[in-house]
Amino acid sequence: MNQVLELTPGQYDLVYNSFSLTIAAMGASLLFFILVRNRVHPAHQMAVTISTVVVAIALYHYLRIFSSWSDAFAYVDGTYVQDGRPFNEGYRYVDWLFTVPLLLAELVIVLKLAKSTTRSLIIRLGVAAAAMIALGYPGELAAPDSGTRTLFGILSTIPFLYILYVLFVELGRSLGRQSAGVRKIIDGLRFLLLATWGAYPLAYIAPSVIDNAATAEVVRQVGYSMADILAKPVFGLFILAIALIKSQDEADRSTDDRQGEPEVA
Ligand code: RET
């Protein structure tokens, strides 16, 4: 496609180590979400279960990404040369195709809105997320300065903006019914979402705006990996916090109910 990519050992290792860190983050959070699940009231366990599935999917894909990266380069005279075997970018997109709709679903589920609202939000957000990822992939494979990359980047941004609209405008209207503690965490969560999801399109345009191909590749890979740590395990921790507060509310409510009952002689 284009000229052979050459990375300095420092550049190669930065990407290698960021993949390694991401694997550790996914593995540790997988264990943590499994262990902590029973502390959550059964009514709110589904959101935590989805977090667990998301980091498991990511753990698998990062293991594949890690070996694809190692296989793609040969160490020749002090430089890492991409010696013909292409690095497989597909793992990332297949991962996102599953995990992005799941992440959106867990956010909606933990809020416990009316059944019909939940259903409609999950379907609309899921379809938009799948469209965003599917449209991004052809652009990701295209050459850095090609019209294809720009075209698919723009097409993918349309469902992306729709998702942000639903989360910030539509969902905002239903937050009034949440408790003050939950509302505070949701505000933090939406900020995290905006900051991290915004990093993906930025990493995508790196090859188009950075002249040096090696630097652009490092920025893109490290950018995607760090964004994935924030968007999956860290996002999952916020969801867990909401589920735990709601579990406490549930426990308080059942204690109140019991106190209201007449004492049995
Ligand atoms: C692409 C292509 C260029 C335009 C846009 C993109 C957005 C990607 C996003 C990905 C989010 C991924 C997440 C993964 C977590 O598991 C596809 C890079 C807008 C927002 C949250």
On the question of pLDDT at 1 being above 50, the answer is no
User: DSSP letters along 151-207, please?
Assistant: HHHHHHHHHHHHHHHIIIIIHHHHGGGS-HHHHHHHHHHHHHHHHHHTHHHHHHHHH
Structure tokens at 11: 């550049």
List, for residues 224-249, the tens digit of each pLDDT value: 999 999 999 999 999 999 999 999 88
How far apart CA 112 and CA 265 sit, in angstroms, is 38
146 CA from centroid of ligand 1 (Å): 19
Residue type, 239: I
With a threshold of 0.85, does the pTM exceed it?
Answer: yes
On the question of pLDDT at 222 being above 50, the answer is yes
154 CA from centroid of ligand 1 (Å): 12
80 CA from centroid of ligand 1 (Å): 28
Helices 45-72 & 213-229 angle (0-180, nearest 10): 160
The DSSP 8-state label assigned to residue 112 in this structure reads -
Cα–Cα distances (Å) from 97 to 7, 39, 107, 215, in that order, read 29, 30, 17, 27
Question: Please, what sign has the CA dihedral across residues 44, 48, 53, 57?
Answer: positive
**How many other CB atoms are there within 10 angstroms of residue 173's CB atom?**
8
More confident residue, 253 or 262: 253
Q: How confident is residue 97, by pLDDT bands cut at 50, 70 and 90?
A: very high
Our mutation pick for probing the ligand 1 site, out of 99, 160, 192, counting the most ligand atoms within 8 A of Cβ, is 160
- pLDDT (mean) for 218-226: 98
How far apart CA 181 and CA 129 sit, in angstroms, is 28
Our mutation pick for probing the ligand 1 site, out of 156, 163, 202, counting the most ligand atoms within 8 A of Cβ, is 156
Instruction: Return the H-helix or E-strand segment holding 85.
Output: none
Nearest CA to ligand 1 atom 9: 200
pLDDT of residue 2: 54
259 CA from centroid of ligand 1 (Å): 50
Structure tokens at 67: 């070996």
Nearest CA to ligand 1 atom 13: 100
Gyration radius of the chain's alpha carbons: 21
